[in-house]
Every structure is written in C-alpha cells, then in structure tokens.
Amino acid sequence: MGFVTELLIAVFLVISGVFGLVGSYGLIKLKDSVQRLHGPTKATTLGVGGVLIASMIYFFAQNGQLSVHELLITLFLFLTAPITANFIAKTYVARHLRPRDLPDSTSEYGWSVYDDPPETIRDE
C-alpha cells in the first residue's frame, strides 16, 4: 500500500473520530433538550461516513475491488438519521412543550402534534 493511500485513510479516520467525539460532547455540553438534538444527528453522520470511506479505500487498496457494502451502510444511515431526529424532536415537543411555547404556524391550522388534520386530508 502506497504512502499516499495510507495517509488518506489515516486522515479520514482521524477526522471521523474527532467528529464522532464532538457529536457526543455536544450531547453533554448543550443545556436544552432540543439543542442537544443538533450534536449527534450531524456530527455522527459525518463521523461514521468518514470511517466507512476510510474502510472503502482500505479494502480497495488491499483487494483491488470496490466494496459496495460501505456505500449501502452510509446510504442507510443518511436516510434514517433525519427520520429518527424528527421522531425524537416530535416526542419532545409532544411531551414537554405546550402550543404557546411554539411560534404560530403560518397556516390556518396549528402544529400537527396538537391539532387534528382537516377532514379532506384524513380521507385520502
């Protein structure tokens, strides 16, 4: 394995480690529950992404063929991370905030955590 390849892998590993650590540090440092959502959802996706890219380069340099597994894991994480973050935010809003803590929704109906959808949408 050439020096440049090794350097590239090492750089990706170090970057991803730092981002993973910062994400979890944000989980401890930030005061408010909703603020804490920001740390892990972002930092860890790039963290794990970095590890997976490093592993892809490593196995490509070692075996000479591209492995798609890493790409699949990355894709899966990028698709699911926003969904879990959204769910957790919704859980927090539903259990710990009242409608008056949030800004007014700019449409005629309130936020869906508190309000039922209008009949036309429910029928679809």
Partner 1 sequence: MIRYLIPHPLLSLTLVLVWLGLVNTVTVGNLVLAVLFGLVLPIFTKAYWPDRPKLGNPFKAIEYVLVVLWDIVVANVEVAMIILFKPEREIRSQWVPVPLDLTSAEAITVLAGTITMTPGTVSATLSADGRSILVHCLHTDDPAALRDGIKSRYERRLMEIFQ
Partner 2 sequence: MITYALIFAAGCYGLALLMNLWRIVKGPNPADRILALDTMVIDVIALLVLYGIWQGTAIYFEAAMLVAMVGFVSTVAYCRFMLRGDIIE
Which among 76, 73, 88, 90 has a CA at the least distance from the CA of 40? 88
Return the residue of 42, 60, 88, 114 that touches partner 2, per CB under 8 A. Answer: 88
Which DSSP state fits 68?
Answer: S
50 is written with which tokens?
């970095």
Contact 19, 53 (CB under 8 A): no
Which DSSP state fits 116?
Answer: P
86 sits near partner 1 (criterion: CB under 8 A):
yes
Window 18-57: residues binding partner 1 (CB under 8 A): 19, 22, 25-26, 29-32, 34-35, 37-39, 41-43, 45-46
What residue has token string 């196995």?
59
Contact 57, 23 (CB under 8 A): no
30 is written with which tokens?
């930030």
4 sits near partner 2 (criterion: CB under 8 A):
no
Query: Minimum distance between the CB of residue 105 and partner 2, rounded to whole angstroms?
Result: 19
Burial class (CB in 10 A: 0-12, 13-18, 19+), 29: exposed
105 is written with which tokens?
């929704």
Window 104-123: residues binding partner 1 (CB under 8 A): 104-113, 115-118, 121
The partner in contact with residue 108, picked from partner 2, partner 1, none with C-beta cut-offs of 5 to 8 angstroms by kind, is: partner 1
- Which residues contact partner 2 (rule: CB under 8 A)? 6-7, 9-11, 13-14, 16-18, 20-21, 23-25, 27-28, 33, 36-37, 40, 44-45, 47-48, 51-52, 54-55, 58-59, 62, 67, 69-70, 72-73, 76-77, 80-81, 83-84, 87-92, 94-96
